[in-house]
Structure 1
Amino acid sequence: MAHRDELNQNAPDPNDFERRLNAKLEARRVKEAETKASGWGQGVRYGTEFAGGVLVGAGLGYLTDQFFNWTPWGLLTGVLLGFAAGTLNVVRAAQSMNQSDDASS
């Protein structure tokens, strides 16, 4: 009989498991809400990264046209290089957001 009492004392309480599980799930929800950027915020970041690259490339191309009198080749080259730089910026931003999401999990 004493052996049976020892087994009952060592048995986990199912209510305790549910309480601990709910506490951990709630803590994870709070942490994700604090660190995760909204979809709108991510879209704005990607858009500004891309537009910034294109605008800088176009501006440098325009200045090249004015300085060397290469119209329109400097502007065309600048826009193409800006497009490539903007695309690379968006890829890097997406990778950094994915890495931060993986690290928080």
Structure 2
Amino acid sequence: MADEGRNGTDDLDKRIADAKAAHMQRSKVDHAAEGRAETRGWAVGIEFVGAVIVGAVIGLLLDKWLNTAPWLMIVFLVLGFAAGLRRAMSTSKQFDTDLTTDR
């Protein structure tokens, strides 16, 4: 009778250990996927902000050179915003297609 109780405990211990191992494996995969998603999110944001800043700087330099302040800066700021938005959308679309092909 004591053997039956001990075997049941061993079986339970094995199932608990297996469940913990499976959970740890899933956690590692989930953390890796979260890290990739975060990196991709930062990449999209940095590309967008970079395009806006480059557009503003080009406009500012042209304004100083042509003495047309602030009109060219405004125009190039809007163009930089549009270029950044377009680039962010295309990068996001590329990331989405990468995610669907990885599965």
Instruction: Please report the TM-score for the alignment, with normalisation by the length of structure 1.
Output: 0.62
CA RMSD of aligned residues (A): 2.3
Aligned to 2:48: 50
The SS at the match of 1:81 is helix
CA 1:99–1:33: 2 relative to 1, 3 Å: farther
Size of the aligned set, in residue pairs, is 77
**Structure 1 gap segments, 5+ residues each:** 1-25
The amino acid that maps onto 2:82 is A
How do 1:36-75 and structure 2 match up within 5 A? Answer: 37-75=35-73
Which one has the bigger helix percentage?
2
The amino acid that maps onto 1:98 is D
The amino acid that maps onto 1:62 is L
**Structure 2 gap segments, 5+ residues each:** 1-24
Deviations 1:57-92 (A, max 9, x none): 001101110111111101101110011011011101
Instruction: Please report the TM-score for the alignment, with normalisation by the length of structure 2.
Output: 0.63
- Say whether the 8 Å CA contact 1:53–1:85 is kept in structure 2: yes
Aligned to 1:80: 78
Cα offset for 1:39? 3.4
Quick one: distance in 2 between partners of 1:33 and 1:53? 30
